């Protein structure tokens, strides 16, 4: 399957941190026909799980084990930078800052249906899905590793919120879904358990 190299992102708009926090809220209504810019998606993904310049990561992780993965479901008018990014499901590869194509169909409505039919989600041009592969952390911390993975997903999701609002976008957060139905829709590695779905787009 193909990979897409993510472009350099910009972060040159000064904003007070408290102003950003005052903006953050859960968005449940989106402009369906307004795509994200690929540079903005690149920035949001980096803030979610990217590598810092010194080789560390932008979020903390118990034991530095990084048990999470980030996927992006993109609609037909999902992401644009010159050409539209093809519809599909992509896996974010933080070490290469690239997207790997997993599927080429639009699965947003199926994700919304699996999320207890929260159909507002499907209006968003893109959805970011955070998954955990527990073996990557429970081999060291046993049962406790599971809660560490949940906590890490909290760090990732707040970064996604703040970077989206910093780019003038809005986003939502969904934890209410049927685990089996969502896994079936995503069709990703069986060990990757979905924890959160975050629709992203212009409010």
Q: Which C-beta is closer to ligand FMN: that of 60 or that of 175?
A: 175
Taking the alpha carbons at both ends of the chain, their separation in whole angstroms is 32
Does residue number 146 form part of the binding site for ligand FMN (CB under 6 A)?
no
C-beta neighbour count of 170 within 10 angstroms: 23
117 binds ligand FMN (CB under 6 A): no
Site track 62-101 with ligand FMN (rule: CB under 6 A), x = hit: ----------------------------------------
What does the block give as tokens for 56? 């560390």
Length of the chain: 203
With CB under 6 A as the contact rule, which of the stretches 46-54, 66-74, 81-89, 173-181 interacts with ligand FMN?
Answer: 173-181
CA 12 → CA 23, 85, 202, distances in Å? 18, 24, 20
The DSSP result for 164-192, as a single string, is HHHTT-EE--B--S-HHHHHHHH---TT-
How many residues bind ligand FMN (CB under 6 A)? The answer is 8
Side by side, the strands of the sheet bearing 83-84 are: 36-37, 79-81, 83-84
Q: Which two tokens stand for residue 175?
A: 């934890």
Which of 135, 175, 184, 189 binds ligand FMN (CB under 6 A)? It is: 175
Smallest gap from Cβ 76 to ligand FMN, in A, equals 24
User: Shortest Cβ contact with ligand FMN: which residue?
Assistant: 175
Q: Which two tokens stand for residue 20?
A: 């950003």
- Residue 26 as a binder of ligand FMN (CB under 6 A): the answer is yes
Cβ nearer to ligand FMN, comparing 82 with 176: 176
Residue choice 118, 131, 159, 163 for contact with ligand FMN (CB under 6 A): 118
Binding site for ligand FMN (CB under 6 A): 25-26, 28, 118, 173-176
């Amino acid at each position: 399957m193909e990979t897409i190299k993510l472009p350099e992102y910009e972060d040159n708009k000064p904003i007070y941190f408290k102003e950003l926090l005052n903006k953050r809220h859960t968005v449940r209504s989106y402009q369906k026909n307004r795509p994200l810019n690929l540079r903005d998606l690149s920035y949001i993904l980096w803030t979610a799980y990217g590598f810092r310049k010194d080789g560390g990561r932008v979020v903390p992780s118990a034991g530095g084990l990084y048990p999470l993965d980030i996927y992006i479901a993109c609609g037909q008018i999902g992401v644009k930078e010159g050409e539209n990014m093809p519809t599909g499901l992509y896996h974010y590869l933080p070490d290469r800052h690239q997207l790997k194509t997993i599927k080429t169909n639009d699965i947003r409505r199926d994700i919304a249906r699996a999320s207890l039919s929260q159909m507002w989600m499907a209006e968003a041009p893109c959805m970011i899905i955070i998954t955990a592969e527990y073996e990557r952390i429970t081999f060291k911390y046993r049962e406790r590793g599971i809660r560490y993975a949940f906590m890490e997903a909290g760090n990732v999701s707040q970064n996604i919120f703040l970077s989206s609002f910093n780019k003038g976008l809005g986003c939502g957060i969904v934890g209410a879904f049927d685990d089996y139905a969502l896994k079936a829709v995503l069709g990703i590695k069986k060990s990757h358990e979905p924890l959160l779905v975050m629709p992203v787009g212009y409010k």
